[in-house]
Structure 1
Amino acid sequence: MSPANSILLDRLDEYLDTYSGRDKFLKAICYSLKFATGFSQSSKSIHDLKLVSSEISNCRTILRFLDYVSVFKYVLSYKFGRNEKDKYLKLIGRISCVLDVVFYPLEQVAWFAERKVIPVNPDPWDNASTVCWVMSLYLALMKALRSLTLLEQHKKCLRSADADIQVAMDRILIQQRGLLLLSIRTCCDLVYAVHYLPEGFLWSTKLKVWQVGALGMVSAGIGIFQSLSSWTKAPSS
């Protein structure tokens, strides 16, 4: 095995050892199965694909039970936007923190209610968690677009400076590429997230299973690419 392939395999192993890495790959498999339903002519095959996809989705939900620590750690480190210089990013960040904290208990109450562990109707809880999810994705998209705008403004300021700006411009370009990919990924997530809202809101319940799968596949693929593009770089000697 070549050194490059060995490094790639080692980094992939390390990546799959992380929670984020496993979740992204599970997401890719889950939505690939949904996408595959659009190419199957057998009703049994379609049912089986949906069933396996649902089980993987359920697995991801269970794994999110462990997200409380990371969410609260992020909220505390963010300090409610105290260090955010841009007022719009500060507002977006604050609302996002609230939504993230509220989303997890709502989702988990719905999950337990669906399994009759809690004697309540799961639908209102499920709808509420989906609303939080959609709002969080929308804010994430707004944050990425606002950050792109600020970076573009920073580039204009650098061009007007009498100094060697190539290194700084290269760094900004890398950031912009990452934010652009993040925007595309978030758009895909937002489109299919709206589909899961109660009927009557925008295109909720209008997408076909394979269309949801296609959007999820693109989102998962971009997420894996973004992660591995940094993980697979050889460490500097």
Structure 2
Amino acid sequence: MELQRLTRVFGIYAGRDKFLRAAYAGLVILATKEKDPEKAKRILAFAKQFSLARLIFRQCNHPQMFSSIKDLYLQFTTSNKIDIFDYFLTSSITGIYTVYGFAELIAWLSDAKIIIADSGKWFKWCLYLWLGALAAGIIRTIRQIFKKPFEKTKNDQITLLGFICDFISGANSLPPGMLWSGKLTPRQSATFSFIASAIGFWKLY
């Protein structure tokens, strides 16, 4: 049964993505604990392979994002009862991630010297978009928690924890002077990222 569940999770995009992200964060944490600089360097180089794999796999997600936008449009035009605020947040998250996907594609292609563009600028926009989507997700989840009896909000609370950990880690990479940019050590930032990824994988499992 456990093997079947694991096979099912690894068989979907989200499961593979969360695993690769958790592995990347785990390796970064391991590298920060390694006293031998050469070994730490090799571990970080290996970790970057997981990050690159995630980036490439995400390029296969564009059709799904367009499908999600289509579904949201159909919901808006056909549903008689709709929570406007929740719909706005959900649509914002989906729309942001759709734009994020194309911004990341440009950043990746420019970084690989396939096209001429400022990859650093595009990756920075990806960070802004991701944090925006996380902020919308945090607001939406908090709202869902307040709308339900407390005893039925366990999964929402875990989801909220994952979003917050992601936001804390992501905001650390913002330009200097924004929020707590640069205040976390690499190990602390990777730990928050690992927790968020582990939560995401556990929810799928």
**TM-score, normalised via structure 1 length:** 0.79
Query: Cα offset for 1:81?
Result: 6.3
Unpaired segments of 5 or more residues in structure 1? Answer: 1-6, 156-171, 229-237
Answering whether residue 130 of structure 2 is matched by residue 133 of structure 1, we say yes
Letter in 1 for 2:18: K
Amino acid at match of 1:77: D
- The 2-side partners of 1:227 and 1:32 are apart by 19
Gaps of 5+ in 2: none
* Structure 2 equivalent of residue 100 of structure 1: 97
Q: Is the 8 A contact 1:185 1:219 kept in 2?
A: yes
Query: Does 2:155 match 1:178?
Result: yes
Write the deviation string for residues 168-196 of structure 1: whole angstroms up to 9, x where unpaired: xxxx71xx111111000010111111122
Residue 122 of structure 1 pairs with residue 113 of structure 2: no
Q: Please point out which of 50, 56, 59 is paired with 2:53.
A: 59
Determine which of 179, 185, 196 is the counterpart of 1:219.
196
Q: How many pairs align?
A: 202
CA contact (8 A) 1:34 1:212 kept: no
From 144, 152, 158, the counterpart of 2:141: 144
- Structure 1 ranges of 4+ moved more than 4 A: none
| Structure-1 residue corresponding to 2:40 | 46
**Structure 2 match to 1:29:** 23
Please tell me the residue identity of whatever aligns with 1:190: F
Q: What RMSD, in angstroms, separates the aligned Cα atoms of the two structures?
A: 1.8
Decide which of 195, 211, 223 is 2:172's aligned counterpart. Answer: 195
Q: Secondary structure at 1:200's aligned position in 2? A: coil
* CA contact 1:107–1:125 (8 Å) conserved in 2: yes
Query: Are the counterparts in 2 of residues 81 and 93 from structure 1 also a CA contact under 8 Å?
Result: no
Give 1:208's aligned residue.
185
CA separation in 2, counterparts of 1:208 and 1:188? 14
SS at match of 1:120: coil
In 1: Cα distance, 2:12 partner to 2:99 partner: 25
The separation in 2 between residues aligned to 1:57 and 1:45, in whole angstroms, is 19
Cα distance change, pair 93–81 in 1 and its aligned pair in 2 (3 A): farther
In the alignment, does 2:66 pair up with 1:69?
no
Cα 1:80–1:214 shift into 2, 3 Å = farther
Question: Are the structure 2 counterparts of residues 90 and 118 from structure 1 closer, same or farther at C-alpha, using a change threshold of 3 Å?
Answer: same
Partner of 1:165: none
Higher mean displacement: 195-204 or 124-133: 195-204
User: Could you tell me the TM-score, scaled by structure 2's length?
Assistant: 0.91
Letter in 1 for 2:3: L
Letter in 1 for 2:180: W
